[in-house]
Chains A and B, each alone.
Chain A
Amino acid sequence: MSFIEARNRAITEEMTEDRRTILFGGMSGPGSPEGGFAQAFGRDRVRSTPISEEGYGGAAVGAAMAGLRPIVSFSTGSFMYNAWEPVVNEAALMRYMSGGQMSVPITFHFYVGLRPGAAAQHSQSPQAMLCNAPGLVVVAPGTPAAAYQLMRAAALSDDPVVYVDSLKLHPDVGEVPANGRPTRVRAEVVRPGTDVTVAAVSVMVPRALRVAERLAAEGISVEVVDPRVLKPLDKDGILASVARTGRLVAADEGRLTCGISSEIVATVSELGHDLLKAAPRRVGVPDVPSPMAPALDAAITPSEDRLEQAIRATLG
């Protein structure tokens, strides 16, 4: 099953099993590949929205406080910035400000990452910024199985969950678990190895798997760990892998400074310094905006080659 089929199967199951689940925003827009939800579940529960991210994001938060369990898509991550207020100031804070009285069970969805041709304003990656906003759970699937499980877990959660999607992953094919909501989500070893841990997020997971295959031919054994939940980070799961390998490369297609890979490296350095045989490395996007031209995009993409270089660097 493909990544996009797995994600949509999870949404379909949620919509079927729970009448409180509604879907709106860019993912359900007419003409979008996901438009089939409206035919299946009706315009009452599947709504196309005006171009009002703050307005419909806020309405979804209010609806979540009044009995619904919305899935809201802002389409491109860049548009999420227009909805910062309801996401980081309302949904994220309500449980805390109310001393635990109130829940906002909602899933915020958007696409992140570099896309050739999108240029700077349609390719933002706000996952690290959102991890810095207390009160949110942030998840990022890198495989079809995770695409399915994380969407179902998000729907089960009583916390607001940010679901970080990547269009580049949609064609990927893999095994997907049978129908059901996972009750426990942790970092996952997607390929076991003994020499280097690559903690790979979202689109970096398939890249890391291909690099691991390449290096295996040279006798280098790479363990690929998908954190799956960026916040709260599964520290134990990542440390357990580093305990096996003694080396760490953290990879995310977001900006490096204060990024997801920075947080993973900081966590391992702080809690597992004596596990490390070499300095950990980060792979991410340099601190420049996203350029339009494909040749320029290639210059800043955390590619398989760049990931491979980082892995080799930890091996000395």
Chain B
Amino acid sequence: MPMPREQMLPQLETMLLMRRTEEAICEMQEEFPGNFHVYIGQEATGASVISQLTPEDHIFTTHRNHAHNVARGVPPEQVLAEILGRPTGPSGGKGGTFHVMSAAHHSVATAIVGGSTILAGGAGLAAQVLGEDKIGVAFLGDRTLNEGAVYEAFNLAALWQLPVLYVCENNVGEPFEPRSSNMSAGQLLDVVRAFQIDTEAAEAFDPVAFHDVAERAVRHVRNERRPMFLEARTNRWPGNMLAGDPSLSATGPTDISMGWSPPADDKYEAWHRSDPVLRLTRAVIDEEIADQAALLKLDTEVRDRIGRALAAARAAPEPAGESAFEHALAGGDLWPR
């Protein structure tokens, strides 16, 4: 079913937290080394799928993990601290942008393309062997299907009937640049169907409509105890960021008032039309769930929270050098040291 009325405002708040967290990451991009990968524009997919999970389910995300973690309930304060490499991050700065993860939230981030697919089947296997009703969820991008590991994962999941949902976020490429999936097959689902895996594909620009797709997919895997592949056709901007990439500043931070009053002569009109945050903002107004003033207040609260989180992450000390030597192994006296 489409998103119930009473879930629209909470879901908008979640998606605003996802968006504003990543805008903060773009803002602080020169304060940490390396490149990073944001999810801006894809929030409807992660927010919808993750909202349908139980705390016992296991998600396996990727290098593009920040917003998945926020949707899963990992506090943005922790996400930003980890990305800045601070001891207050969940991994104490050892993971950074590539590996924001939380054991308490059953959220794992592997930055090897295809890694999420081979691991998530294992969570389904654990559920099967232990007789639990939890499921495994793998997030992956369309080009992940270039990796051979994925086909081993599909075959095993279908052969063993593992309860695992593969959520493939396919950046269809509009409006800024054509992107290829680098696949010889014309349709991604054609490849997956050969493994006798149930499939579904849908546009994921409209959070209200996509909620229905996500709800059915999670329910299918949980009830039928078999794998499913969901292709979410998404859009993403600014995309893969290297420090200094000007693309975010081209659009600037999201202005949610565009949700109810789109600007005339918008250079980024195609982008804004597909933006799930603006789409849900519009839906909340249209459904008369909240008025413009209430939404601006909500957004201000979210931005204030993220602003405080960013300040706290910046103010936290660098990790002590000796912590680099912790956590390679479990410790204890079983093995020599």
- Identify the A interface with B (CB < 8 A): 19-20, 22, 44-45, 47, 49-50, 52, 54-68, 85-86, 89-90, 94-103, 134-135, 137, 153, 156-159, 182-187, 229, 232-237
User: CA–CA, A98 to B155, complex, Å?
Assistant: 29
Q: Decide: B99 and A97 in contact? CB cutoff 8 A.
A: yes
Asked if B320 CB lies within 8 Å of chain A CBs, one says: no
Closest to A68 in B: B126
Residue of A nearest to B132 (CB): A67
Give the 6 A-B residue pairs with the shortest CB-CB distance, closest first: A62-B122, A58-B118, A55-B152, A99-B91, A62-B119, A63-B122
* Interchain nearest-CB distance for B103 vs A (Å): 4
Chain A residue with the shortest CB-CB distance to B99: A97
Residue among B90, B114, B149 with most chain A CB within 10 A: B149
Chain B positions within 8 Å of A52 at CB level: 152, 155-156
CB-contact partner of A65 in B114, B122, B327, B335, under 8 A: B122
Give the contacting residue for A229; candidates B112, B129, B336; CB below 8 A: B336
- Cβ contact within 8 Å between B99 and A59: no
Cβ–Cβ < 8 Å partners of B134 in chain A = 66
Which chain B residues numbered 72 to 112 have a C-beta less than 8 Å away from chain A?
Answer: 89-95, 98-99, 101-104, 106, 108-110, 112
Interface centre among A49, A101, A184, A186 (most CB of B within 10 A): A101
Q: Which residue of B lies closest to A139 (CB)?
A: B335
Can you identify 28 A-B contacts, CB atoms within 8 angstroms? A44-B129, A50-B156, A54-B118, A55-B149, A55-B152, A58-B152, A59-B156, A60-B122, A62-B118, A65-B119, A66-B58, A66-B123, A67-B130, A67-B132, A68-B125, A90-B110, A90-B115, A90-B118, A98-B91, A98-B95, A98-B108, A99-B89, A100-B92, A100-B326, A101-B104, A102-B101, A184-B334, A233-B336
What's the nearest-Cβ distance from chain A to residue B29, in Å? 21
Residues of B within 8 A of A100 (CB): 92, 326-327
Q: Point out which of A100, A159, A229 has the most chain B C-beta atoms below 10 A from its C-beta.
A: A100
- Does any Cβ of A come within 8 Å of B328's Cβ? yes
Interface pair B155/A157, CB less than 8 Å apart: no
0/1 interface trace, chain B 111-149, chain A, CB 8 Å (1 if under):
010110111111101111110101010000000000011
Using known A-B contacts A55-B152, A58-B122, A102-B101, determine if residue A158 contacts B330 with beta carbons closer than 8 Å.
yes
User: Is the Cβ of B328 less than 8 Å from the Cβ of A96?
Assistant: yes
Min CB gap A26→B, angstroms: 15
Total CB contacts across the A-B interface at under 8 A: 189
Interface size on B, residues (CB 8 A): 59
The CA of A89 and the CA of B99, in the complex, are separated in Å by: 12
Given A185-B334, A237-B336, are A59 and B103 also a contact pair (CB < 8 Å)?
no
Q: Is B230 an interface residue (CB 8 A)?
A: no
Q: When the two chains form the complex, which single residue of B94, B125, B329 contacts A59, counting CB atoms closer than 8 Å?
A: B125
What distance in Å separates the Cβ of B299 from its nearest Cβ neighbour in chain A?
32
Across the interface, do A101 and B101 meet the contact criterion of CB distance under 8 Å?
Answer: yes
Per a CB cutoff under 8 Å, which of A59, A66, A67, A96 touches B153?
A59
Decide if B122 touches A55 in the complex (CB within 8 Å).
no
* B159 close to A50 (CB less than 8 A): yes
> A183 near B336 (CB under 8 angstroms)?
no
In whole angstroms, how far apart are the Cα atoms of A1 and B159 in the complex? 38
Across-interface contacts of B267 in A (CB, < 8 A): none
A61 to chain B: which residues have CB within 8 Å? Answer: 118-119, 122
**Chain B residues positioned under 8 Å from A135 (CB to CB):** 328-329
For residue A234, which residues in chain B have a CB less than 8 angstroms away from its CB?
336
With the chains together, A234 CA to B95 CA distance in Å? Answer: 29
Q: Are B95 and A99 in contact (CB under 8 A)?
A: yes
